[in-house]
């Protein structure tokens, strides 16, 4: 058994609506079903969704503030006023700044631009920059992806005689800045019909209001980049903007974007949202995280391919350094959280801070911590000299982190963001109280169900439905991202034909699965650890995304695994090990490296005859011995029998003396998921399945032998072993059954045959029945192969549950 990482939710499914849509649009059934599960069941809406155009974009003048901004910018351009573009250091802010630079170049404006340093200055407008702008003769500032919370800074700009036009998309605070005008679709009074634009989307709307149909289509590349990188919903007009932008990228007008795509491994063909999200965005963000964002802006605004390629290589190197730095901080953060977890004090909201931690990467660290612990997480870097803490937060559905920070605003110097991600700064002296306040807020918001991560699957299907033509049709649903995820399909009960690790250090997993005769390869990135927990006999349930694998001119379907589950017990065959203790230690170390098993969930079981000291030193593996009455009992004095319920992985070192003990053991390990067999396969004292013929053979011999002067038990057993080839252990069972039936009497080393035995049938003896069950158990566990053993243990578990 392998538990899924997520709780799987299946979207509601309307079979009749899907059939109608399939017939009306003449599309594959799977594509029709996916449209319906996404709330698109009307044929007209579906056609528009599959074949959209720029005609679907909203009028920019519907956005509050644009009507005031356009004439002010035109006036500044005509009068030769000095204009400052003030941006942000993330990929959305840099895309916005690059787009505004393109606009100002087109307008032939007199302008300059500024991006704050992420760690030295932090997010937002800063008075020293405004003062410098004033000294440079700036009379108009246009912000992009920032400014909606800059109340004091914009007031200071007004004192300097500078007008400020704010274009932003972040959540507006209760008190708004008194700027020349505010452009943000999220303003409570703004009638703009779509609130999900990225910062670059808002900047594009302003540019389009100024240029109209003369707005270059190439600028949509920047819109696509910023929108995808900032995880904005790819719905409504974002879907149109991003799709058009991605189409432009295939033959980009920006040397920097082309250079970055090639650096990230793209060579030719369609540019997808995945190329942007995992190729472009991390490299652009690396500049602000590791150095200054100006280097990324230089790439985006480069006019020479030679210069762009050189800059792109430098960003790629920065990104690699960033990856290593993140790994180091994540490791340190995990140790701190694990200490709280071990002490039983893991809070609902995790706050970790470290001296000297690079504040440029703490958001990524927070994401990785959230992925492991599934709790709202805040990670802060502490400036040792000043005590100032700057950090980033990542949250889970149902917990608005921006609202939580607002609850703590008295402790914060600055904060801003979205319900799922935010940034903040405060002094280290307030950290403890800050954590307390956050968890106080969480106690009124979070419920147990919030801490269970979920994965939404669009629908359940069979492998035969996932064909190459169908996957090509599914591409019409793109671009994929927030609000319009790549279709996720649930496949149940697939046979596992082959599995292996791939990539550096076996980081990834590749499966070959089969169902109803259809066979397909499936790849699980970052899940190579699962390899140790798979068996050839496994039947897997998968949540997957479908794609196309192109190699050497061939194209075939390929699945990308999002989550995996094995819903049945698994048996691993390591019978006849040279040293059970060493083998268990080896297996334990491998298993604990996975995130699917934890210390305390593993146990080893054997008889009291086994050398339990061989495994007794293994930390995190409990030791149990077989017990006639209860099935098992703790092998260590400090253990409690109730601990058996926590066991999910069982190492069987030796078999018990009876099937009854085995069944009682299974009754105790009620949450068992996997069994590792490490017992010897052969035994000189084999047990036979009881038969009337064998018992008759022994009884006749005893009656004859008992007529002699002495009927010594040891002599009888030796003679029976020699004459009939019966093992000593088997003979003991037979003699015990004869005693139970009152056929013989055993005592003082002698056997006496009753002259007038009872007439009870052989099968009525409980010992006879127990012997049959024991023989069956040993035959299966000693001699059968894993499929038969798995089926037998599964039946045993069902029988005792």
| CATH (domain of 661) | 3.40.50.300
- Is residue 49 situated within a structural domain? no
Which of 451, 469, 489 terminates a domain? The answer is 451
Which among 682, 680, 613 is positioned nearest to 652, based on CA atoms?
680
pLDDT of 38 reads 87
Distance between CA atoms of residues 511 and 625, nearest Å:
38
CATH number for position 718: 1.10.10.10
Look at residue 344 and tell me whether its pLDDT is greater than 90.
no
Distance between CA atoms of residues 531 and 527, nearest Å:
8
pLDDT of 102 reads 98
- Is residue 780 situated within a structural domain? no
Which of 451, 481, 513 terminates a domain? The answer is 451
Distance between CA atoms of residues 237 and 217, nearest Å:
15
Q: Which conformational region is residue 751 in: left (phi greater than 0), alpha (psi within -120 to 50 degrees), or beta?
A: beta
Q: Which residues are 564's β-sheet partners?
A: 542
Distance between CA atoms of residues 443 and 286, nearest Å:
36
Look at residue 617 and tell me whether its pLDDT is greater than 50.
yes
| Residue count of the chain | 801
Distance between CA atoms of residues 72 and 167, nearest Å:
14
Distance between CA atoms of residues 243 and 572, nearest Å:
49
Under a CB-based contact definition with an 8 Å cutoff, are residues 461 and 491 in contact? yes
Mean pLDDT for 112-117 is 96
Are residues 118 and 261 part of one domain? no
pLDDT of 61 reads 97
At 274, the pLDDT band (50, 70, 90 cuts) reads very high
Residues with Cβ < 8 Å from 517, sequence gap 6 or more? 464
- H-helix or E-strand spanning residue 424: strand 421-427
Q: What is the pLDDT of residues 728-750, one digit of tens each?
A: 999 999 999 999 999 998 888 88
Q: Rounded to a whole number, what is the distance in angstroms from the first to the last CA of the chain? A: 16
- Is residue 228 situated within a structural domain? yes
Are residues 69 and 173 part of one domain? yes
Which of 500, 531, 565 terminates a domain? The answer is 565
Are residues 603 and 589 part of one domain? yes
pLDDT of 320 reads 94
Q: What's phi and psi for 53, nearest 5 deg? A: -150, 175
Q: In this structure, what token pair is assigned to residue 638? A: 């400090």
List strand residue ranges (DSSP E) for 616-698, in order.
621-627, 631-634, 649-652, 674-677
Are residues 139 and 214 part of one domain? yes
Top mean-pLDDT range of 134-143, 228-237, 584-593: 134-143
Lowest average pLDDT, out of 349-363, 606-620, 623-637, goes to 606-620
Are residues 759 and 675 part of one domain? no
Are residues 227 and 145 part of one domain? yes
Distance between CA atoms of residues 163 and 180, nearest Å:
6
Distance between CA atoms of residues 27 and 36, nearest Å:
13
Q: Distance of CA 265 to CAs 261, 272, 275, 386, 749, Å?
A: 7, 13, 9, 42, 83
Which among 6, 600, 648 is positioned nearest to 342, based on CA atoms?
600
pLDDT of 243 reads 93
Which among 644, 574, 577 is positioned nearest to 605, based on CA atoms?
644
Is pLDDT larger for residue 220 or for residue 760? 220
Q: In this structure, what token pair is assigned to residue 713? A: 């038990």
At 801, the pLDDT band (50, 70, 90 cuts) reads very low
The boundaries of the domain holding residue 478 are 7-38+458-565
Q: What is the pLDDT of residues 530-573, one digit of tens each?
A: 999 999 989 999 999 999 988 888 899 999 999 999 999 999 99
- Is residue 2 situated within a structural domain? no
CATH number for position 431: 3.10.310.30
Are residues 244 and 258 part of one domain? no
The total number of structural domains in the chain stands at: 6
Look at residue 779 and tell me whether its pLDDT is greater than 60.
yes
Lowest average pLDDT, out of 437-446, 471-480, 484-493, goes to 471-480
Look at residue 683 and tell me whether its pLDDT is greater than 80.
no
SS (H, E, C) 435-473: HHHHHHHHHCCCCHHHHCCEEEECEECCHHHCCHHHHHH
- Is residue 48 situated within a structural domain? no
pLDDT of 614 reads 59
Q: Which conformational region is residue 198 in: left (phi greater than 0), alpha (psi within -120 to 50 degrees), or beta?
A: beta
Angle between helices 43-50 and 15-25 (to 10 degrees): 60
Look at residue 692 and tell me whether its pLDDT is greater than 70.
yes
Q: What is the pLDDT of residues 51-77, one digit of tens each?
A: 766 567 899 999 999 999 999 999 999
Distance between CA atoms of residues 656 and 796, nearest Å:
15
At 123, the pLDDT band (50, 70, 90 cuts) reads confident
- Is residue 784 situated within a structural domain? no
Distance between CA atoms of residues 695 and 439, nearest Å:
72
DSSP assignment string, 260-308: HHHHTT--SS---HHHIIIIIHHHHHHHHHHS-THHHHHHHT---HHHH
Under a CB-based contact definition with an 8 Å cutoff, are residues 460 and 371 in contact? no
Look at residue 613 and tell me whether its pLDDT is greater than 80.
no
Q: What is the pLDDT of residues 626-682, one digit of tens each?
A: 988 888 988 876 667 778 888 999 999 999 989 999 999 998 998 999 999 999 887
Number of neighbouring beta carbons within 10 Å of residue 333 = 23
- Is residue 67 situated within a structural domain? yes
Are residues 575 and 670 part of one domain? yes
Can you tell me which residue has the tokens 């921006």? 402
The DSSP secondary-structure symbol of 480 reads P
Q: In this structure, what token pair is assigned to residue 111? A: 């302008």
Pairing, β 377-382 against β 388-394: antiparallel
Look at residue 612 and tell me whether its pLDDT is greater than 70.
no
Are residues 171 and 124 part of one domain? yes
- Is residue 773 situated within a structural domain? no
Can you tell me which residue has the tokens 């970790």? 352
Q: What is the pLDDT of residues 328-343, one digit of tens each?
A: 999 999 999 988 887 8
CATH number for position 27: 2.40.50.460
Which among 168, 128, 121 is positioned nearest to 149, based on CA atoms?
168
Distance between CA atoms of residues 403 and 382, nearest Å:
23
- Alpha-carbon torsion angle 485, 491, 492, 496, nearest 10: -120
Can you tell me which residue has the tokens 């409690």? 640
Are residues 214 and 91 part of one domain? yes
Q: What is the pLDDT of residues 594-603, one digit of tens each?
A: 878 877 789 9
Distance between CA atoms of residues 649 and 674, nearest Å:
5
At 754, the pLDDT band (50, 70, 90 cuts) reads confident
Look at residue 701 and tell me whether its pLDDT is greater than 80.
yes
Q: What is the pLDDT of residues 302-321, one digit of tens each?
A: 999 999 999 999 999 999 99
The mean of the pLDDT values for the chain is 91
Are residues 696 and 582 part of one domain? no
Q: Which conformational region is residue 194 in: left (phi greater than 0), alpha (psi within -120 to 50 degrees), or beta?
A: beta
Are residues 98 and 33 part of one domain? no
Under a CB-based contact definition with an 8 Å cutoff, are residues 248 and 218 in contact? yes
- H-helix or E-strand spanning residue 223: helix 219-229
pLDDT of 630 reads 87
- Alpha-carbon torsion angle 213, 214, 215, 216, nearest 10: 120
Residues with Cβ < 8 Å from 545, sequence gap 6 or more? 486, 487, 488, 489, 559, 560, 562
Can you tell me which residue has the tokens 């399939």? 22
CATH number for position 82: 3.90.1640.30
């Amino acid at each position: 058994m392998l538990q899924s990482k997520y709780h799987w939710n299946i979207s509601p499914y309307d079979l009749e609506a899907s059939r109608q849509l399939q017939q009306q649009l003449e599309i594959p059934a799977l594509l029709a079903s996916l449209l319906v599960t996404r709330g698109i069941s009307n044929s007209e809406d579906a056609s528009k969704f599959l074949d959209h155009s720029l005609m679907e974009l909203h009028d920019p003048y519907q956005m509050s503030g644009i009507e005031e901004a356009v004439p002010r910018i035109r006036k500044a351009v005509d009068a030769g006023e000095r204009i400052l573009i003030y941006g942000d250091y993330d990929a959305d802010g840099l895309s916005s700044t690059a787009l505004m630079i393109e606009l100002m170049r087109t307008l032939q404006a007199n302008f300059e631009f500024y991006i704050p340093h992420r760690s030295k200055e932090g997010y937002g407008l800063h008075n020293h920059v405004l003062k410098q702008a004033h000294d440079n003769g700036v009379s108009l500032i246009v912000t992009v992806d920032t400014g909606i919370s800059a109340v004091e800074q914009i007031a200071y700009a007004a004192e300097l005689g500078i007008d400020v036009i704010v274009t932003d998309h972040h959540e507006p605070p209760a008190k708004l800045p008194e700027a020349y005008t505010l452009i943000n679709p999220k303003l409570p009074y703004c009638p703009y019909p779509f609130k999900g634009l990225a910062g670059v989307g808002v900047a594009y709307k302003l540019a389009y209001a100024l240029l109209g149909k003369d707005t270059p289509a190439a600028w949509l590349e920047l819109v696509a980049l910023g929108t995808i990188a900032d995880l904005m919903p790819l719905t409504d007009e974002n879907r149109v903007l991003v799709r058009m932008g991605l189409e432009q990228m295939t033959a980009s007008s920006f040397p920097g974007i082309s250079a970055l795509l090639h650096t990230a491994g793209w060579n030719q063909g369609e540019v997808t949202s995945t190329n942007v999200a995992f190729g472009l965005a991390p490299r652009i963000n690396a500049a602000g995280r590791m150095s200054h964002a100006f280097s990324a802006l230089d790439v985006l605004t480069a006019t020479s391919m030679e210069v762009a390629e050189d800059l792109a290589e430098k960003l790629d190197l920065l990104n690699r350094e960033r990856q290593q730095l993140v790994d180091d901080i994540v490791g340190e953060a995990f140790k701190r959280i694990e200490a709280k977890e071990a002490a039983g004090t893991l809070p609902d909201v995790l706050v970790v801070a470290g001296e000297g931690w690079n504040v440029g990467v703490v958001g990524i660290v927070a994401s990785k911590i959230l992925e492991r612990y599934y709790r709202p997480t805040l990670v802060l870097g502490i400036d040792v000299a000043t005590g100032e803490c700057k950090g980033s937060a990542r949250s889970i559905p149902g917990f608005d982190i921006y609202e939580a920070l607002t609850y703590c605003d008295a402790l914060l110097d600055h904060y801003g963001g979205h319900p799922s991600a935010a940034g903040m700064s405060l002094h280290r002296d307030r950290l403890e109280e800050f954590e307390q306040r956050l968890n106080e807020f969480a106690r009124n918001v979070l419920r147990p169900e919030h801490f269970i991560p979920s994965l939404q699957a669009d629908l359940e299907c069979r492998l035969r439905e996932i064909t190459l033509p169908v996957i090509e049709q599914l591409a019409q649903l793109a671009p994929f991202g927030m609000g319009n995820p790549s279709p996720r399909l649930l496949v149940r009960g697939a046979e596992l034909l082959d599995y292996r690790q791939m990539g550096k250090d076996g980081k990834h997993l590749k499966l070959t699965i089969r169902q109803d005769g259809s066979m397909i390869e499936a790849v699980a990135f970052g899940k190579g650890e699962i390899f140790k927990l798979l068996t050839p006999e496994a039947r897997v349930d998968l949540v997957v995304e479908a794609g196309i694998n192109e190699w050497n001119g061939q194209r075939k379907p390929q699945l990308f695994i999002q989550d995996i589950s094995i819903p049945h017990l698994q048996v691993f065959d390591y019978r006849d090990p040279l040293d059970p203790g060493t083998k268990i230690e080896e297996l334990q170390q491998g298993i604990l490296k996975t995130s699917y098993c934890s210390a305390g969930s593993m146990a080893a079981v054997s008889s009291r005859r086994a050398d339990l000291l061989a495994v007794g030193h293994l930390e995190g593996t409990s030791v149990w011995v077989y017990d006639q009455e209860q099935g098992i009992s703790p092998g260590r004095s400090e253990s409690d029998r109730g601990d058996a319920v926590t066991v999910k992985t069982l190492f069987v070192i030796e078999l018990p003396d009876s099937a009854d003990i085995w069944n009682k053991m299974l009754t105790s390990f009620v949450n068992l998921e996997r069994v590792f067999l490490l017992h010897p396969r052969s035994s000189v004292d084999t047990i036979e399945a009881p038969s009337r013929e064998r018992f008759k053979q022994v009884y006749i011999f005893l009656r004859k032998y008992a007529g002699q002067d002495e009927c010594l038990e040891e002599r009888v057993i030796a003679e029976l072993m020699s004459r009939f080839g019966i093992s000593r252990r088997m003979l003991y069972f037979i003699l015990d059954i004869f005693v139970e039936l009152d056929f013989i009497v055993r005592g003082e080393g002698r056997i006496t045959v009753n002259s007038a035995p009872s007439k009870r049938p052989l099968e009525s003896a409980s010992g006879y029945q127990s012997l049959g069950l024991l023989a069956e158990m040993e035959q299966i566990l000693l001699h059968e192969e894993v499929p038969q053993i798995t089926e037998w243990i599964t039946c045993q578990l069902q029988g005792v549950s």
